[in-house]
Amino acid sequence: MIPVTKPFLPPKTEYQRYIDGIWERNWLTNNGPLVNELELQLKEYLGVNHLLFVVNGTIALQMAIKALDLKGEIITTPFSYVATTSSIVWEGCKPVFVDILEDKFTLDPSKIEAAITPNTSAILATHVYGIPCEVEEIQRIADKYKLKVIYDGAHAFGVKVKGKSLFEYGDISTCSFHATKLFHSIEGGGVFTKDPELLKRLAYLRNFGHDGFEKFNGIGINGKNSEFHAAMGLSVLPYLKEIIQKRTEQFEYYRQMLKGLKVSFPNTLGIENYNYSYFPILFQAEAQLLKSMEILENHGVGSRRYFYPGLNNLDYTSGDCLVSDLVSSRILCLPLYHSLSKEEQKMIARLLLRVQNNSII
């Protein structure tokens, strides 16, 4: 079986070295030394001033909404993982969907202003597949209407815009360090802000609101992560250059092998430090996608309709987003992970071309 993704695992001995230290200290969680070390190394690697290591990317989004004290309506994208929308609803706000760009699948800035009402408090956009949102245009609109900006950067680890980390844009950015991600800590996430005061607020939120043992600064949740997860992050981080190089080669090899396939790809040209997180292909018709998935599955190849359905079509949401609906019905992510071989990629490409050439759609 070829899965659609597979976590990168560092050598056991390197992870074990960190685990041995945890055993010696008997300090398992609650802002331990490995959590602090990982935060320092991530800040250096990403070129950011402030970040907090949290339990997952969803908690990061919820903390961002809470820290900014958002109420009412939040303009957001229909083309993202469900956590982007469910976090808005979970925090008592209403998602208002704005359609996406046809070539990048990110939020379309030209459609934002028409969706703004007196109840709008923020914009929450997703850097889909590591493709940056139109951050400068979104910030211009936010400044004009005095709105906060949050970015769901679950896919955007390491990507830059104009020499700056993508996580430096907006009031708060978040990232997922889940096992399926480019950089992972098994489970985990990051929350980023340029504002030191906002960072303090997020730090209180992460730890029940504790301001010492017997004092509390507002309400909070348990957003802390453990020393064991930090150990995995510290073990994976030194391999990031190798991981991205391998994925770059795999990405280009797919493009070469699929030249004859009647599909299109998102526009990744000119992206600084693009991280090759996923390999999505956009079919011309949903029937072609469904048949291709069937053939792949019959040959032991995993694939994923990432993202489907559009979030505007969930039971608890609504909204017309024509571009997103068309994209989500035709998008498919192919296997992409560190140990995927060229022979396996060749087989996947041959199977997809066979469906097309036999016109079995």
Examine the domain organization and report whether 234 and 252 are in the same domain. Answer: no
Instruction: Judge whether 6 lies within some domain.
Output: no
Quick check: 184 and 178 in contact, CB under 8 A?
Answer: yes
Q: Which domain holds residue 248?
A: 240-357
Same domain, 30 and 126: yes
In a domain, 36, yes or no: yes
Long-range contacts of 34-42 (CB under 8 A, 24+ apart): 34/227, 34/230, 34/231, 34/234, 35/224, 35/225, 35/226, 35/227, 35/230, 37/230, 37/234, 38/185, 38/230, 38/233, 38/234, 38/237, 41/234, 41/237, 42/190, 42/233, 42/237
Kindly state the DSSP code that residue 237 receives in the 8-state scheme. G
Measure the CA–CA gap between 150 and 156, rounded to whole angstroms.
14
pLDDT band at residue 359 under the 50/70/90 scheme: low
**Is the pLDDT confidence value at 255 over 70?**
yes
Tell me which residue has tokens 């056991």: 12
Tallying the residues shown for the chain, one arrives at 361
Q: Are residues 207 and 285 in the same domain?
A: no
Percentage of residues of the chain with pLDDT beyond 90: 96
The pLDDT of 129-152, averaged and rounded, is 98
Q: How high is the pLDDT of residue 46?
A: 98
In 68-194 the beta strands, taken as DSSP E runs, fall at: 73-76, 94-97, 120-126, 148-152, 160-161, 164-165, 172-176, 189-192
| Residue where one domain finishes, among candidates 238, 269, 303 | 238
Answer whether residue 328 is part of any domain: yes
Is 163 buried (19+), middle (13-18) or exposed (0-12) by CB count in 10 A? exposed
pLDDT tens-digit series, residues 203-222: 999 999 998 888 999 999 99
DSSP assignment of 286-341, as one string?
HHHHHHHHHHHHHTTB--B-TT-S-GGGSTT-----HHHHHHHTTEEEEP--TT--
- Whole-number Å distance between alpha carbons of 95 and 179: 28
Contacts of 160 (CB under 8 A, 6+ apart): 47, 166, 272, 273
Q: Is residue 7 part of a domain?
A: no
User: Do 187 and 59 share a structural domain?
Assistant: yes
Tell me the pLDDT tens digit for each residue of 160-204: 999 999 999 999 999 999 999 999 999 999 999 999 999 999 999
pLDDT digits 0-9 by tens, 39-48: 999 999 999 9
Among 207, 238, 269, identify where a domain stops: 238
CATH label of the domain that carries residue 258: 3.90.1150.10
Mean pLDDT value across residues 225-248 = 98
Whether the CB-CB separation of 42 and 190 falls below 8 Å is answered with yes
- Mean per-residue pLDDT, 19-41: 98
| pLDDT over 90 at 106, yes or no | yes
Q: Per the domain annotation, does 4 fall within a domain? A: no
Residue 118: count other Cβ atoms within 10 Å of its Cβ: 6
User: What mean pLDDT value characterizes the chain?
Assistant: 97
Q: Is residue 16 part of a domain?
A: yes
Residue 36 in 3-state DSSP? helix
226 and 146 in a common domain: yes
Residue that is last in its domain, among 175, 209, 238: 238
pLDDT score recorded for residue 6: 97
The enclosing domain of 98 has a CATH number of 3.40.640.10
- Six-digit token pair at 29? 């969680």
Q: Within 10 A of 172 (CB to CB), how many other CB atoms are there?
A: 26
Instruction: Judge whether 263 lies within some domain.
Output: yes
Question: Do residues 88 and 145 share a domain?
Answer: yes
Domain tally for the chain? 2
212: which DSSP letter?
A: S
Residues 79, 187: one domain?
A: yes
Tens digits of per-residue pLDDT, 69-101? 999 999 999 999 999 999 999 999 999 999 999
Average pLDDT over residues 250-256: 97
Kindly state whether residues 218 and 245 are assigned to the same domain.
no
Residues 231 and 248 in one domain: no
360 pLDDT above the threshold of 90:
no
232 & 306 share domain: no
Least confidently predicted of 48-62, 255-269, 297-311, 346-360: 346-360
Residue 313 — very low, low, confident or very high, per pLDDT cuts 50/70/90? Answer: very high
Answer yes or no: do 148 and 246 share one domain: no
Residues 128 and 229 in one domain: yes
Asked if residue 329 is part of any domain, the answer here is yes
Please report the pLDDT score of residue 361 as a whole number.
43
For residue 212, what pLDDT is reported? 85
